[in-house]
Every structure is written in C-alpha cells, then in structure tokens.
Structure 1
Amino acid sequence: MEAKPHSPYRVFLAYLLLTFYCFGAGMMNEFVEYLSYADLGRSIPPADFARWHKATSQYVLPFLVLPILLGNIALIALFFNRPASIPKWTLWVALACAITAWVSTILFQVPIETQFDQGYFSPALMERLWQTDWIRKGAFFVEIGVVIYMTVCFFGSATLRLTTLEATRLTSAL
C-alpha cells in the first residue's frame, strides 16, 4: 500500500481528520457557545453583548469555517480519486450533508449572528438560532455516521490487504 503524494489514501485520511475535528469543534460551538449566548444575552445590555459577540466570533473563521471548507475540498477531491474500498454512495451522502449545513448556515445562522453583532439580542432570536441550528446539527450527525462507515470500510480493507500480503509472503517462504 504505497502512497503517492496525492494518493486517494492521503486524501481520505485528510478528509477523515478534518471531519472529526470539525464535528468536535462544531458541537462545541453549537452546544457550549450558543448556550453561553443565551445566558450572557439575558444578563448584560445589548450593546455589551454585541461587543462580546464580535470579539469571540472572530475565532470561528480560522478554527471552524476554514477547516470545514478544507474538509469539503477533500470530500470533492475524493469523487475524483477515492480509495476503492470507500463506496461512492457515501461520498454523495456526505456531500448532501455538507451542502445542507452550508445552506442552513447561510440562510439562518449567519443572519441571526449578524443581528447579534448589531446589538439585537433577544430570547426569541436566540430561540430561533437554537431551533434552526438543528438542521445543521442533523447534517453533521449524519455525515459523521457516514464517515465512521467509510472509515470501517477503509481500514477493514487495509487490514484484509495486509493479512493477504502476509499470507502470500509466508506461502512464498515455504
């Protein structure tokens, strides 16, 4: 299993690592940060909340959005260069999840977060953010399930290849 610079194995492993990182970071963002929005938004004046939100939100781009984008690029690259052990249908499901998450982000989360930046915090707006975010969370949960399945296929096939290679070597040595 010799890997070349842009082998499907390396592309898959990059996608795998980015997806698991983004899943963890996304869940942290959506469960921990959003809950802190709700608590803090009720406790301080809207202008202070807006300043706090802008200050903390600046880290979402480099630590979450950029890795998600890189993972999406790796996913698209897998359509052109995937390991044979990864079923093509799993790529389509993962792509549908990625598209769903981006559409939800653009249509719901970004406009609400922009209102927060402008000092328009309200419990109703926070509730709308929380409710609409379940679209994105659902997509992330489905995608991570599919990625786990891909991983089982990938490493199961690699284990089988190694076992077969060892059996061939033993037979040749006899």
Structure 2
Amino acid sequence: MNANLVFLTNLLSTWYLMGLIWMVQVVHYELFDRVGADQFARYETDHTRLITPIVALPMLIELISAMGLIAMSPAGFPRWAAWAGLALIGVVWLTTFFVSVPCHSTLVNGFDQDAYRKLVNTNWIRTIAWSLRGILLGYFTVRLING
C-alpha cells in the first residue's frame, strides 16, 4: 500500500468520525433525556445496536491507517504528527471502552440521570480528541497539497 493512500484513508476516516461525534454530542446525546422513562431502555438498546456498525468499522479503519502512518508516511508528514494522531486515537478508544461503554451499559437498564450526565460530559473528551485529529490531518493535507 502506498503512503499517500494510507494518509488519505486516515484523513477520510477521521473526518467521518469527527462529523459523527459532533452530531452525537450536540444533537443525539442531548435528546436522550427527552425519550421518556417508559421507552428509554428500548431506545438505548436500539441506539447501541444501530450505531455500532456505523462507528466500529470506521474506528478500526482509522486505527489501522494511523498505525500505517507510523510505518509509512507521505513526504512532508512528520513522524511526530503520526504519533500524536495515534495518541489521540488512544484517548478516544480508552474513553470509549472505559467511560462511554459503561455508561451505555447502565442506561440499557433504564434512564439513569448520573450515567446520562457522565456520558454527555465525558463524551467531550472524544469530541475534542477527534477534532484535534481532524485539524492536525487537515493542516498537513493543505501543506501536502501546496508542496
């Protein structure tokens, strides 16, 4: 695989996930407390089932392509940027599995105000990390295009 294709794959997966996380943070999670207690457990179960396929594969592609950038980067994309990007993915994955997933596991049993607030507030960690990745890759995309 060529370094430019690895970079492009990483850029596209990151920007897809960055857009998705902003929609989830600003719209989707903000509506969780409006579902109603009687329907919430089903809503949360459906949310988890429906969102997993549109998040899991792009996250995996992003991770693999970010590791690829460590091994081979296009000329003009510094190694420190590849490592910084991979570190931000680490922040996203750790927050996902050790904070977000446990909150969703609580919410699947019914609406819980504390778990909901924790989910919304800590999701900013992922939103900021993906945004920083997007900015980093966007910056180097412009530099690579302009030579």
TM-score, scaled to structure 1? 0.79
Hey, what does 1:144 align to over in structure 2?
134
Q: Does 1:113 align with 2:104?
A: yes
Q: What SS does the corresponding residue of 2:125 show, helix, strand or coil?
A: helix
Q: Which structure is higher in RCO with an 8 Å CA cutoff and minimum separation 6?
A: 2
Task: Give the 4+ runs in structure 1 shifted more than 6 A.
Answer: none
Shift of 1:89: 1.1
Measure the CA separation in 2 of the matches of 1:148 and 1:113. Answer: 32
The letter of the residue matching 2:92 is A
Q: Does 1:21 align with 2:16?
A: yes
Candidates 78, 91, 95, aligned match of 1:87: 78
The RMSD of aligned alpha carbons is: 1.3
Identity of paired residues, percent?
29
Partner deviation per Cα, 1:38-78 (whole Å, 9 max, x = no partner): 221xx332xx2111111122122211121011111011011
The gaps in structure 1 that reach 5 residues or longer are 1-5, 158-174
Would you say how many aligned residue pairs link Structure 1 and Structure 2? 147
Hey, what does 2:123 align to over in structure 1?
133
TM-score, scaled to structure 2? 0.92
Hey, what does 2:114 align to over in structure 1?
124
Measure the CA separation in 1 of the matches of 2:49 and 2:25. Answer: 15
The letter of the residue matching 1:67 is P
Measure the CA separation in 1 of the matches of 2:80 and 2:33. Answer: 39
Q: Which has the larger radius of gyration?
A: 1
Measure the CA separation in 2 of the matches of 1:22 and 1:59. Answer: 16
The gaps in structure 2 that reach 5 residues or longer are none
Q: What SS does the corresponding residue of 1:67 show, helix, strand or coil?
A: helix
Hey, what does 1:169 align to over in structure 2?
none
Measure the CA separation in 1 of the matches of 2:5 and 2:135. Answer: 20
The letter of the residue matching 1:149 is Y
